[in-house]
Amino acid sequence: MSGREFNSWQTVQTEVLRRINAREWKPGDFIPNEAELAVEFGCARATVNRALRSLAESGLLDRRRKAGTRVAVNPVRKATLSIPVIRHEIEGKGQSYRHTVLTQERAVPPAEIRARMRTEPGVQLMHLVTLHMADGKPYVFGNRWINPKAVPGVETADLSSQSANEWLVANVPFEGGDFSFSAMTAGTQEAEILACRQGDALVVIDRSTWNTTHVITSVRLTFAPGYRMHTEI
Amino acid sequence: MSGREFNSWQTVQTEVLRRINAREWKPGDFIPNEAELAVEFGCARATVNRALRSLAESGLLDRRRKAGTRVAVNPVRKATLSIPVIRHEIEGKGQSYRHTVLTQERAVPPAEIRARMRTEPGVQLMHLVTLHMADGKPYVFGNRWINPKAVPGVETADLSSQSANEWLVANVPFEGGDFSFSAMTAGTQEAEILACRQGDALVVIDRSTWNTTHVITSVRLTFAPGYRMHTEI
DNA sequence: CAGTGGTCTAGACCACAAG
DNA sequence: TTGTGGTCTAGACCACTGG
C-alpha cells in the first residue's frame, strides 16, 4: 500500500512513445485530447501538455488547436549539431591548440562575400586568414570577413592571442546565422597551408552570423583531411 | 482602463535575452532566482521557469539546483539539422526523383560494419546498394546494411518501389542514432556510379539508427559533387 | 542543512482554426 | 460557433547539491 501513484510528465511521455512504437497509435492517427489523457493517466492536464509538447518539438507529434494531436506521418528526424569553438574542439580531444594569423587587412571583398554580408560595393571589410593547429599540425584554415560597422572595437582587438572566433563569441552577441557543409578538392594553396596533398578531399564549412541590423561575419573553414563531424540523434 | 499587464513567458524570455545581449548580465554572471524574477516581472514563478528553461535548453543559460542560474560562459551554439528522406529533399527542389536498387543480397558484413551494428561474427545481414537520381542524374549513392533480426518483414518488403530509407522510416520506429559527416575523393567505383570524375571531392554521410535492443541499420551515403547541406542557427 | 530549480495541481481564460 | 491546444496562476512539495 502506499506506493504513491507516480505520474510525472516523463512517465506520460514514455507511455505515449510506447504506444507509438507499438503501433497502437499509427502515423496519421489522432490521439485522445489532453483532457482525456489527463483522466486516463490520473494527472493534471498541464502534465500531459508538457509531455506532448516535448514530443511535438522533437517532431514525433503534430499538434494543432481545435484539430487535435496526431502521430506525425513523416517523422523528420532532427539532429542537433553543436558548433564548438575550435580551440575547445581540439582541447576536448586532448590535443594542444595553437593558432596563427596568416594575414590581416582591410579590403574590399569579392562579390560573393559582398552578397553574403549585404554590404555596398566599395565598402571595406576586415579580412582575416588564420590557421588553427592541433598538436602542432594544421587542423583547419579560416578565411574570415568581418563587418567593422557591426563590431565596433574589432579593429583594435588583439586577434593573435585570442582567435577571431573566440573574440567574437565573447564580445558580439548575435541573433542568428546560417551554416553549410560541403566538400572540396585541395588545390595548391590548401595543400600548402594544410600540409596535405593536392587532390585530397577536404571538408568545408561556410558560416555567417548576424544580428538585427548587420551581417557580423562570414567565414569559410577548410579542414585538414580526415576531419569528421559527428552528432547523435 | 484596462490595459491588462501582459507578461507571457515569451515576454520574459525576450527581456532576459535583451539583458544578456546588452551585457547587463555578462557571461558567467548569476542572474536573480526564479522567485525574484517572478516578482520583478509580475508573473508566476512557473512562467519565469518556462522562459528560463527554454533558454537553458538552447544553451544560453546554465541552471543548477541550489547553485542558481548563470549566463553561459561559452555559448555553444547549436544548429538543428533536419534529416529529410532523400525523395523529399529532391522533390523539394522541384526535381524529379527516381531510385534504383543496384544490388540486394544477404551477406556477412565486413568487420567495420559488424562493429557498428554489434552483430556476431558470421551473422548475415541484408546488404543493399542503391542509387538515387534527381532529374535523371545521379544524386546520391547508398550502401546500406540492415539487421533482419531488428526488422521482421524486411526480407519480403518491396524495396524497389519504395526506397529502403522510406520503408524503414515508415515501418520501423527507432530510439536513437548517430550521424557523421566527412569528405572523400571519388575512386573508380564512385566515379562510375555517380557519373563524375575520379578525384572529385564528395560529401559522405554515415548514419546508424537503433532501438532499445538492436542496431537497425547502418548506411553510408555518398553524394555527387556539388552537394551542400545547409541549416540555420 | 537550506536554497534553488523541477515539477505537479486545479482551475481559469485565451487564441486559433475547423466545420 | 465551438473544441482543442496554449498559457497563466497560486500554491505546494520534491530533488538535488552547495556550503
Please write the tens of the pLDDT for every residue from B221-232: 999 999 999 988
Residue ranges per structural domain of chain B: 9-71, 86-223
User: How many other C-beta atoms lie within 10 A of the C-beta of residue B29?
Assistant: 14
Round to a whole number and report the distance in Å from the CA of B215 to the C1' of D16. 34
Cβ-based contacts of A210 with chain B (< 8 Å) = none
| pLDDT surpasses 50 at A219 | yes
Give B24's DSSP letter. S
**What is the average pLDDT across A168-194?**
91
Compare B21 and B107 and report the one with higher pLDDT: B107
pLDDT confidence of residue A197: 96
Round to a whole number and report the distance in Å from the CA of B62 to the C1' of D16. 15
* pLDDT tier at B233, thresholds 50, 70, 90: confident
Round to a whole number and report the distance in Å from the CA of B47 to the C1' of D19. 29
Q: Beta carbon of A8 within 7 Å of strand C?
A: yes
Q: Residue type for B23, please?
A: R
Nucleotides of chain D within 7 Å of a protein C-beta? 2-12, 15-19
Calpha distance A227→A138 (Å, rounded): 11
**What is the average pLDDT across B128-155?**
95
**What is the average pLDDT across B31-41?**
95
CA distance B96 to chain A (A): 20
- Over the stretch A47-83, which tens digit does the pLDDT of each residue have? 999 999 999 998 899 999 999 999 998 777 778 888 8
| Architecture of the domain whose range is A9-71 | Orthogonal Bundle (1.10)
pLDDT confidence of residue A35: 95
Q: Which residue is nearest to nucleotide D3 (CA to C1')?
A: A66
The C-alpha cell that represents A25 in the structure block: 497509435
- Over the stretch A183-203, which tens digit does the pLDDT of each residue have? 999 999 999 999 999 999 999
Mean pLDDT lowest among A45-54, A82-91, A211-220 = A82-91
| pLDDT surpasses 50 at B20 | yes
| pLDDT surpasses 50 at B4 | no
Longest Cα separation, chain B? 79
**What is the average pLDDT across A166-176?**
84
Q: Residue type for B106, please?
A: R
**What is the average pLDDT across A110-133?**
95
B145 in the Ramachandran plot: left (φ > 0), alpha (ψ -120 to 50) or beta? beta
| pLDDT surpasses 60 at B3 | no
Buried b / exposed e across B47-84, counting CB within 10 Å, b at 16+? bbbbbbebbeeeebbbbeeeeebbbbeebebebebebe
pLDDT confidence of residue A1: 30
- Over the stretch B153-205, which tens digit does the pLDDT of each residue have? 888 888 888 899 988 988 887 888 999 999 999 999 999 999 999 999 999 99
Q: Beta carbon of B71 within 7 Å of strand D?
A: no
Q: Which residue is nearest to nucleotide C7 (CA to C1')?
A: A8
pLDDT confidence of residue A94: 93
Same topology, domains B9-71 and B86-223? Answer is: no
In whole numbers, what is the pLDDT of chain B averaged over residues? 91
CA distance A55 to chain B (A): 13
Query: In the 14-43 stretch of chain B, whose C-beta falls under 7 Å of nucleic acid strand D?
Result: 42-43
| pLDDT surpasses 90 at A106 | yes
Which member of B20, B183, B231 has the closest CB to residue A179? B231
User: Residue B218 forms beta bridges with which residues?
Assistant: B145, B208
- Over the stretch B83-132, which tens digit does the pLDDT of each residue have? 888 998 999 899 999 999 999 999 999 999 999 999 999 999 999 999 99
Calpha distance B106→B87 (Å, rounded): 25
**What is the average pLDDT across B4-30?**
86
Q: What is the DSSP string of A73-105?
A: SS--EEEEEEE--HHHHHHHTT--EEEEEEEEE
CB A83 to CB B233 under 8 A?
Answer: yes
pLDDT confidence of residue A6: 59
B86-223: CATH number: 3.40.1410.10
Calpha distance A189→A200 (Å, rounded): 12
The C-alpha cell that represents A63 in the structure block: 499538434
Angle at alpha carbon of residue A176, lines to B61 and A203, rounded to 5°: 100
Which of B14, B91, B181 is the mutation pick for testing A, counting most A CBs within 10 A?
A: B181
pLDDT confidence of residue B6: 59
| pLDDT surpasses 60 at A2 | no
| pLDDT surpasses 60 at A169 | yes
Is residue A187 within 8 angstroms of chain B, CB to CB? no
How many Cα atoms occupy the beta-carbon half-sphere of B62 within 13 Å?
Answer: 13
Is residue A228 within 8 angstroms of chain B, CB to CB? yes
Q: Beta carbon of B185 within 7 Å of strand D?
A: no
**What is the average pLDDT across A112-139?**
95
CB A176 to CB B85 under 8 A?
Answer: no
Is residue B75 within 8 angstroms of chain A, CB to CB? yes
The C-alpha cell that represents A131 in the structure block: 590557421
CA distance A120 to chain B (A): 24
